[in-house]
Amino acid sequence: MVAFAVALALVLFAVGIGAAYFVFASFLFGAGYEPTPRRAVERMLRYAEVGPSDTVFDLGAGTGAIVFRAARIYRARVVGVEVEPLRVAILRLRRRLGPFSDRITIRWGNLFRLDFRDASVVTAFLWPGAMTRLRPKLEAELAPGARLVSHCHPVPGWVADEYDPETDVYLYRWPAARESGAAPAGPTGGT
């Protein structure tokens, strides 16, 4: 009985460590793991008017809540970049098993090393510090006309074109988001 209790405790401990690793290990890179809720994904893709001619970059692709919906429902080309290897393995498995795999690219790596020049739409659900670090990179690399949609956290100092309080989604249009004099939609992130 004691042996069973010890074994059970060890298993629960290992499961806890594994779950904590899965959710929090990527924290230092820019965000822990939390899938974007389906309603927020829909709001993001609709705000950005994603369609077959778009190339969507999902920054921190997680297990693919945005990646696969953008490719399968909206027929976009999608590049999902993810730093955590278990999630990359899940993303690659889902890509292999599902339709439209030719429209989906999964990259294992740090999103801050990805070149955003080919993106017409950028999606993000990252933590505030990562949004701050992201801003100069976005300003250097986004093509005119690109849209950025972010769940939960704004780009500090940018002016949102739209904000949906129900799903907590911000839409930015580049380069209008940085131009002064535009009327802010919803809360802005300060400078």
Applying CB under 6 A, the residues found at the interface with ligand SAM are: 26, 29-31, 33-36, 58, 60-62, 65-66, 81-84, 87, 110-112, 125-126
* Count of Cβ atoms closer than 10 Å to residue 155 Cβ: 22
Q: Judge contact between 33 and 90, C-beta under 8 A.
A: no
Distance CA 190, CA 179 (A): 14
Burial grade of 137 (CB within 10 A; 0-12, 13-18, 19 or more): middle
Instruction: Between 34 and 115, name the residue whose CB sits nearer to ligand SAM.
Output: 34
To the nearest whole angstrom, how small is the minimum distance from the Cβ of residue 89 to ligand SAM?
Answer: 12
Instruction: Between 122 and 126, name the residue whose CB sits nearer to ligand SAM.
Output: 126
Q: Judge contact between 99 and 72, C-beta under 8 A.
A: yes
Instruction: Between 87 and 159, name the residue whose CB sits nearer to ligand SAM.
Output: 87
- Dig out the tokens for 161 from the structure: 């074109």
To the nearest whole angstrom, how small is the minimum distance from the Cβ of residue 55 to ligand SAM?
Answer: 16
Instruction: Between 56 and 61, name the residue whose CB sits nearer to ligand SAM.
Output: 61
Instruction: Between 48 and 159, name the residue whose CB sits nearer to ligand SAM.
Output: 48
To the nearest whole angstrom, how small is the minimum distance from the Cβ of residue 165 to ligand SAM?
Answer: 19
What torsion, rounded to 10 degrees, do the Cα atoms 47, 50, 55, 56 define? 50
Q: CA distances (Å), 142 to each of 73, 112, 134, in order?
A: 24, 13, 11
Select the residue whose beta carbon is closest to ligand SAM and give its number: 60
To the nearest whole angstrom, how small is the minimum distance from the Cβ of residue 58 to ligand SAM?
Answer: 5
Residue with token string 């690793």: 21
To the nearest whole angstrom, how small is the minimum distance from the Cβ of residue 80 to ligand SAM?
Answer: 8
